[in-house]
Structure 1
Amino acid sequence: MDHEMHYFHLKKRRSFLLFIFMCITLKTALCFNISSTSTLTFAEAYSPLFSKFNIQRSSDDKTVNLILNRFSGSGIISSDYYNYGFFSASIKMPSEYTAGIVVAFYTSNVDTFEKNHDELDIEFLGNVKGKAWRFQTNMYGKGSVSRGREERYRMWFDPTKDSHRYSILWTPKNTIFYVDNIPIREVIRHEAMKGDYPSKPMSIYATIWDASSWATNGGKQKVNYRFEPFVTEFKDLVLEGCIVDPTDQLLSTNCTDQIDQLIAKDYSTITSEGRRSMKWFRERYMYYSYCYDNIRYPVPPPECVIVPSEREMFKTSGRLRNKMKFGGSHRRHRRSRDARRRISKGDN
């Protein structure tokens, strides 16, 4: 009986240590949450953007599948424009062979300000079977497409197995990109950015499309339609912000109270725990950053905060000094795996 009790307590202790490891090192949603948000049905939030025949809505209208096949991709657009806000969706990516495919969740006002548009992007890049999905974030302001502010990352999970929440916070002061509950990138508005910081009302988009010309290995791997249809699932739809007419000239006055409420939300400020999570992510999974690309930008753009632990990771091209294998991870992350093995063996 003593032996059984000892085994029980040892097993319980190992489970506790594994949980602590997941909280501190893996930063899972078990440990902290973005403040509660209200989800919407498709009809309350979005409208078809293109290829309605490739858009499938669930019976309760809370889930929408976007399909890419040999005929077309598909996309949806928010029914309203927002003057700043918090935009989120749980997304599950297509599986199998997905080379050449791009799934995007982003904000834009290109339909209203064609040559002067703002945009905030999260783009997911498919891959050949057995290789990890990658993704990138970007920011454009006032048509600044020649001054892209992209960062590129690899996933620390398989986005085809389960849905994961991806979010964009956009305020007059800062922009934060979230994956699940982890802030992976923050852009703080700097006066010297001028019009490069998005400031005009935007719609929210979700799309899947054929980007064979560039998405995978510079276009070497194309979409293979033998594996069609490619289906991406969107649910837990969140659109929070000030709904506006984009041609209204009094936007800031009309939305002052709602913008103040947005800035006061928990997810509008990164906590000390969030800072540790972001550092963990960026030092292990970011493989390109424009802030460290001294070839494109000999003088880093004004919003860039040069972090020494990140700086040492990158060449002057903004790419990693040590090549990252997309089935693996950074050298530093191997120590985390070693720690996990020690925990599983009961070593202290």
Structure 2
Amino acid sequence: MIIEIDRTYVHSGAASRYSTLEEWYVVPRKGLSQGTRVTFCFVPFFVALAIIYASKAVEVSFQQNYEVVWGNHHVFFLQHGREVQLSIDKTSGAGFRSKFDYASGFFQMRIKIPNKDSRGVVTAFYLTSTAYEHLGAKHDEIDFEFLGNNGKPYLLQTNVFANDEGGREQRHSLWFDPSVDFHTYGVLWNQHQIV
């Protein structure tokens, strides 16, 4: 399995790759005052400035944002540390987690699952709230799980846990082979919805 990390920042509900700048939208309306028209003249300048700033964003390595939590000998860094490859054998696999807590955002990963007999192996991408469980907080989780098998059909199982209650499992038969190439899987999570 190979995973590419694609860092996405979220501000004011709008996601923009490699940028911490907010997105600006201008909708001119008929009958605005002269002062408002002057303001609109400056907006393209600030948008252009934001684009230039975003294009110079520094790419970060995997190790700046994530830590390996088990299976260190099954983790290989590629592309100057921007990509990570996890391997599995008959004794173990590997796992990693974010070094930071998030309250909401857009999270995505590019995943290519194992193409051999993978019965008993679950390749998972999930968000979980474990930081405050020791204080009695309830567990929340959003799951993407590729259920291992010895061939087709490939199944993706999703689940949402809220306040320690799951039971929302859904299994999806995939119309493509997720072991042939990378595919992007993502979750948009905000205070109103999970998409």
TM-score, normalising length from structure 1? 0.38
Structure 1 residues 40 and 169: alpha-carbon distance in aligned structure 2, compared to 1, 3 A threshold: farther
The offset of 1:50, in angstroms, is 1.1
Which of the pair has the greater relative contact order for Cα pairs under 8 Å at 6+ separation?
Answer: 1
Q: 2:156 matched to which residue of 1?
A: 135
Distance in 2 of aligned mates of 1:40 and 1:78: 13
Return the match for 2:100 from 80, 104, 124: 80
Q: 2:7 matched to which residue of 1?
A: none
Q: 1:254 matched to which residue of 2?
A: none
The offset of 1:132, in angstroms, is 2.5
Structure 1 residues 79 and 137: alpha-carbon distance in aligned structure 2, compared to 1, 3 A threshold: same
Aligned-pair identity in percent equals 34
The offset of 1:70, in angstroms, is 2.0
Q: 1:205 matched to which residue of 2?
A: none
**1:43 aligned onto 2:59:** no
- Name the SS of the counterpart of 1:82 in structure 2: coil
- Superposed, 1:223-238 pairs within 5 Å as none
The offset of 1:36, in angstroms, is 5.1
Q: 1:126 matched to which residue of 2?
A: 148
Q: Structure 2: which 5+ residue stretches go unaligned?
A: 1-14, 19-58
Q: 1:160 matched to which residue of 2?
A: 179
Q: 1:314 matched to which residue of 2?
A: none
- Deviation per residue, 1:188-242 (Å, 9 max, x gap): xxxxxxxxxxxxxxxxxxxxxxxxxxxxxxxxxxxxxxxxxxxxxxxxxxxxxxx
- Name the SS of the counterpart of 2:133 in structure 1: coil
**1:171 aligned onto 2:190:** yes
**1:117 aligned onto 2:139:** yes
Return the match for 1:149 from 168, 171, 184: 168
Distance in 2 of aligned mates of 1:124 and 1:171: 24
- Name the SS of the counterpart of 2:102 in structure 1: strand
TM-score, normalising length from structure 2? 0.66
Aligned partner letter, 2:118 = T
Which contiguous aligned blocks of 4+ residues in structure 1 show a shift greater than 3 angstroms?
none
Distance in 2 of aligned mates of 1:97 and 1:70: 12
- Deviation per residue, 1:86-142 (Å, 9 max, x gap): 11111111102112210000000225325611101111112113x222111111112
Q: 2:33 matched to which residue of 1?
A: none
Specify which structure has the higher proportion of helix: 1
- Name the SS of the counterpart of 1:60 in structure 2: helix
Distance in 2 of aligned mates of 1:37 and 1:126: 32
Distance in 2 of aligned mates of 1:97 and 1:72: 15
Q: Structure 1: which 5+ residue stretches go unaligned?
A: 1-34, 177-348
Aligned partner letter, 1:47 = E
- Name the SS of the counterpart of 1:47 in structure 2: strand
Return the match for 2:113 from 85, 90, 93: 93
Distance in 2 of aligned mates of 1:158 and 1:45: 30
Distance in 1 of aligned mates of 2:65 and 2:107: 11
Distance in 1 of aligned mates of 2:69 and 2:106: 21
